Amino acid sequence: MKLNAGAVPTGRRNPSRIGQVRPSHLVTTAGVGSIVDLPTMSVIVRSLDAWSPERQETIQEPRLLAEVQRVLGQQVRALRKAPWDPSETDDPYTRVGVPVTPFPGWVRCPRCHRLGPLDPPGQFDLVHRYGRRPDLAKWVHSQCQRQTTTREVNKRACVPARFIVACDNGHLDDFPYVEFVHVNATQPCGGAKLVMLDSASTLGPQVTVRCAECGASRSLQEAAGKTGHEKLPLCRGRHPHQQRFEACGSPLRLMVLGASNLWFSVTASALHLPQAESVEDLVRAHWKVFGPAPSQEFMQMMVDGMNDLRNLRSVPSDELWALIEKIRAAGGPQPEETSGDLLEDEWRLLAKPTTTRQDADFRATPTATPVGYDDLLEQVVQVTRLREVQALVAFTRIAAPDRRDLIPHNRVSLSRGATQWVPAVEQRGEGIFLQLREDAVSRWVGKVANHPRLIALQAAHQRWCQNRDQPYVPGFPIARFVLLHTFSHLLMRQVALECGYSSSSIRERLYIGRPTKPAAGVLLSTAASDSEGTLGGLVALGSARYLKRLLDQAFEDASRCSSDPLCAEHVPEFPSDTLHSAACHACLFASETSCETNNRWLDRAFLVDITRDGLAFQL
């Protein structure tokens, strides 16, 4: 996907191509409000107001659209793909693409160390080689005395100033270099010429900013740490992706360009669920045709004449008319049972897969349960075809939201006003669904309800919510969730070794249900943007002969960790708010793209008896 630089202080009215990213990254890692590092510059993706929705195809997924409308409002009308032009032949002047603008707005010359803003123009100029090399666009210091060449195209590219500031409300701004350096002056000197002296690669006393006009100098280390906000002004409420300001006044935090906590996506995803193909379901789906039918003869004429009803032509006329009369007597077709919960609808289909609920984008077949795991697994389902649609609804900064929380308190809007559409991506792939025995899980949950490790996690959860100004909602099924989540990570690590896909490309989907309708299932899947999906390496491991070996190895590996005994004995204690116990990077943690909850709610002691305290789920 091309990146078009708009609002660049170059004097040019038309946007310029300066790079490209994958369409899927516009939802996961390089979405609206994120900073994208290009070879020679750094840019921020603009808000949806600046995009070109007329060049974006619509993705049809009613369940996901309804969820997005629940979060953002009924004014959301569509899920749209990344913009593209089917007639485009790699034209460098095309306007099709994602609009971006340079950020941070300060750059540093690598030769003379001059530090200055891009706006107003004059000190730094944009050099863009139009043609097939948009990656060669760069900012140069036009007045640098240490570069002997007079041709700007041959000058060394300036690098983005690597310090910025952010606040807990999601605002992002350039570091206030001029005010920070001249803190002791009554007012900044009129011709401030700043120089950044960076003799080390890390933040420390060596990173200083000095004014060449008045000689004022200050180390950036003063703005770092827990008390660094005291040396910085209050937040002025800047949203660079929306190019606007709003009231804020919160403390600022020094951030390094490229930090992983500068942008977290808030996404909603849904699996495609096929419609049933039974006669009754087809009649209900076309009730606008069958409902007003005055006679059996008229009904048969409609069936024979309408192409949409061709699947009903083999049904005897008497049987079809009797079914219509039955539905009429019941007061018309009742709406299909749906919970409004994306995961609950998926669980209902995965737990009871049938051949009548399959199509080109969903195929699920139950397979044999591995020998020795009948007490743990209710069934194993090989999902040979699946389609997942993922939509970006918002983003956060500094604090990562829970994957299941679509309304975090610190979320930032994707547009200035009410969002009319959201970017989305559809992927096709495969997966393995494992359903745990509900009777065994329920008995174990009741048995360990008052276990000290569970109480410690509950207390840590309260502290976690308090530290982030979020309401604590009691009743979260900690035991059930940690059991399923730990089991998912154990199996996911083993599957990644043999399925042929990287560990970061395998994703988990947990089904825990509600208190009134509990569930216990795990879906491990992998998907690709290609219309053909993936190659079957993951679903093949769902066969009993392979899955038994993977499960045996997973439970064996869970019994030990290279960080033991520290890992095995870890329990969150006051004032810690970590939401995991016996888990670390050596044994359970997965990549950010794989885990639903950012590696929270994990504990090996829930599955294997590593603490000798009776907590482990007994197979």
pLDDT single digits (tens) 478-492: 999 999 999 999 999
Q: Are strands 2-5 and 98-102 parallel, antiparallel or unpaired?
A: parallel
Reported confidence tier of residue 7, pLDDT bands at 50, 70, 90 = very low
Regarding predicted confidence, which is higher, 280 or 221?
221
Mean pLDDT of 205-213: 82
Regarding predicted confidence, which is higher, 480 or 200?
480
Core vs surface per residue 240-256: b (16+ CB within 10 A) or e = bbbbeeeebeeebbbbe
Q: Could you give the CA distance from residue 175 to residue 108 in angstroms, rounded to a whole number? A: 13
- Name the percent of the chain lying above pLDDT 90: 48
Closest CA to 572 of 441, 478, 476: 478
Q: Could you tell me where the beta strands, DSSP code E, fall in 275-411?
A: 363-367, 377-396
Reported confidence tier of residue 337, pLDDT bands at 50, 70, 90 = very low
Regarding predicted confidence, which is higher, 191 or 309?
309
| Helix residue ranges, H only, 330-375 | 342-351
Count the residues in the chain.
619
Q: Exposed/middle/buried for 18, CB within 10 Å: 0-12, 13-18, 19+?
A: buried
Collect all residues with Cβ–Cβ distance below 8 Å to 229 and sequence separation of at least 6.
251, 252, 253
- Predicted confidence (pLDDT) at residue 130 exceeds the cutoff of 70: no
Helix (H) / strand (E) containing 565:
none
Q: Could you give the CA distance from residue 480 to residue 494 in angstroms, rounded to a whole number? A: 22
Q: Could you give the CA distance from residue 25 to residue 1 in angstroms, rounded to a whole number? A: 9
- Please enumerate, as own/partner, the contacts of 458-465 that have beta carbons within 8 Å and a separation of 24 or more: 459/572, 459/574, 460/572, 460/576, 460/577, 460/578, 460/579, 461/579, 463/574, 463/575, 463/576, 463/577, 464/577, 464/579
Regarding predicted confidence, which is higher, 32 or 94?
32
Closest CA to 436 of 477, 473, 487: 487
Reported confidence tier of residue 200, pLDDT bands at 50, 70, 90 = low
- Predicted confidence (pLDDT) at residue 619 exceeds the cutoff of 70: no
Would you say 45 and 31 are in contact if contact means Cβ atoms under 8 Å apart?
A: yes
State the pLDDT at residue 147. Answer: 80
Closest CA to 240 of 102, 54, 341: 102
Q: Are strands 78-80 and 421-436 parallel, antiparallel or unpaired?
A: parallel
State the pLDDT at residue 239. Answer: 96
Query: How many other CB atoms are there within 10 angstroms of residue 531's CB atom?
Result: 8
Torsion of the alpha carbons at 604, 610, 613 and 616, rounded to the nearest 10: 40
Q: Could you give the CA distance from residue 248 to residue 243 in angstroms, rounded to a whole number? A: 15
pLDDT single digits (tens) 539-585: 999 999 999 999 999 999 999 999 999 999 999 999 999 999 999 99
pTM for the predicted model, two decimal places: 0.83
Q: Ranked by mean pLDDT, which of 103-117, 320-334, 342-356 comes out on top?
A: 103-117
Among the residue ranges 140-149, 209-218, 238-247, the one predicted with the least confidence is 140-149
Q: Could you give the CA distance from residue 273 to residue 336 in angstroms, rounded to a whole number? A: 13
Closest CA to 328 of 357, 300, 299: 299
pLDDT single digits (tens) 525-540: 998 776 566 777 899 9
3-state helix, strand, coil in the chain (%, to 5): 25, 25, 50
- Predicted confidence (pLDDT) at residue 604 exceeds the cutoff of 90: yes
- Predicted confidence (pLDDT) at residue 201 exceeds the cutoff of 70: no
Concatenate the DSSP letters of all residues of 198-256 into one string: E-SSSSSTTEEEEETTT--EEEGGGG-STTGGGGSPPP--EETTTTEE----PPPEEEE
Q: Could you give the CA distance from residue 420 to residue 433 in angstroms, rounded to a whole number? A: 35
pLDDT single digits (tens) 381-410: 999 999 999 999 999 999 888 777 898 888
Torsion of the alpha carbons at 453, 455, 459 and 465, rounded to the nearest 10: 90
Average pLDDT, whole number, for the chain?
Answer: 86
pLDDT single digits (tens) 406-456: 988 889 999 998 999 999 999 999 999 999 999 999 999 999 999 999 999
State the pLDDT at residue 68. Answer: 94
- Predicted confidence (pLDDT) at residue 6 exceeds the cutoff of 70: no
Would you say 194 and 212 are in contact if contact means Cβ atoms under 8 Å apart?
A: yes
State the pLDDT at residue 14. Answer: 53
State the pLDDT at residue 530. Answer: 66
State the pLDDT at residue 346. Answer: 92
State the pLDDT at residue 401. Answer: 83
pLDDT single digits (tens) 278-310: 677 778 777 878 888 888 888 888 888 887 677
Query: How many other CB atoms are there within 10 angstroms of residue 85's CB atom?
Result: 14
Mean pLDDT of 206-222: 87
Reported confidence tier of residue 205, pLDDT bands at 50, 70, 90 = low
Collect all residues with Cβ–Cβ distance below 8 Å to 90 and sequence separation of at least 6.
132
State the pLDDT at residue 13. Answer: 45
Q: Which residues pair with 4 in a beta bridge?
A: 17, 99
pLDDT single digits (tens) 346-359: 999 999 887 767 88
Regarding predicted confidence, which is higher, 274 or 367?
367
State the pLDDT at residue 341. Answer: 76
What are the φ/ψ torsions at residue 108 (nearest 5 degrees)? -130, 130
Q: Could you give the CA distance from residue 414 to residue 394 in angstroms, rounded to a whole number? A: 6
Q: Could you give the CA distance from residue 505 to residue 236 in angstroms, rounded to a whole number? A: 39
- Predicted confidence (pLDDT) at residue 23 exceeds the cutoff of 90: no
Query: How many other CB atoms are there within 10 angstroms of residue 534's CB atom?
Result: 24
Closest CA to 593 of 524, 503, 529, 470: 503
